[in-house]
Amino acid sequence: MVKKGDLVKILAGKDKNKTGKIESVLTKESKVVVTGLNMVKKHLKPNKYRTQAGIIDRAMPLDISNVMLVCPSCNRPSKVSTKKVDLNIIRICKKCNEQIDHSEKK
């Protein structure tokens, strides 16, 4: 269970064992985009909006199963459990049992 802005560690792929912040979460495809990781070169042609052609670097989505949340209190990658407190659902680190943050009311 990861959210935008979380610090994650990459478990598989060419950027294995690197960490980065989540830029966006694609829930329907079960993918995440991590800032600065899984970069590819994209060749762009000029069109009426973009007069300059060229090659740009772009972060591509990773499968959500290939990332693991890094706990802010113990600074280690860990699994996450959830707990309902009043009307809030909170995320809890499985290694240190510390609260990660609050999520929206459900």
Residue 51 in domain: no
Q: For residue 39, what are its two tokens?
A: 């970069």
Residue 64 in domain: yes
13 plus 65 within the same structural domain: yes
**pLDDT, tens digit (0-9, with 9 covering 90-100), for 30-77:** 999 999 898 999 999 988 887 888 898 999 999 999 999 999 888 999
27 plus 64 within the same structural domain: yes
Q: How far apart are CA 96 and CA 104, in angstroms?
A: 23
For the entire predicted model, the pTM comes to 0.78
27 plus 78 within the same structural domain: no
**Residue labelled with tokens 């609050």:** 102
81 plus 98 within the same structural domain: yes
**pLDDT, tens digit (0-9, with 9 covering 90-100), for 70-101:** 998 889 999 999 988 888 888 999 888 888 87
84 plus 32 within the same structural domain: no
Q: Which CATH number is 26's domain given?
A: 2.30.30.30
Q: Which of 55, 56, 69, 78 is nearest to 25 (CA)?
A: 69
Domain housing 38: 1-44+56-70
Q: How far apart are CA 46 and CA 57, in angstroms?
A: 16
Determine how many CB atoms are found less than 10 A away from the CB of residue 47: 8
99 plus 65 within the same structural domain: no
Specify the number of domains making up the chain: 2
66 plus 21 within the same structural domain: yes
Residue pair 67/32 in contact (Cβ under 8 Å)? The answer is yes
CA distances to 24, 26, 34, 53, 87 from 9, in Å: 15, 17, 10, 34, 30
18 plus 65 within the same structural domain: yes
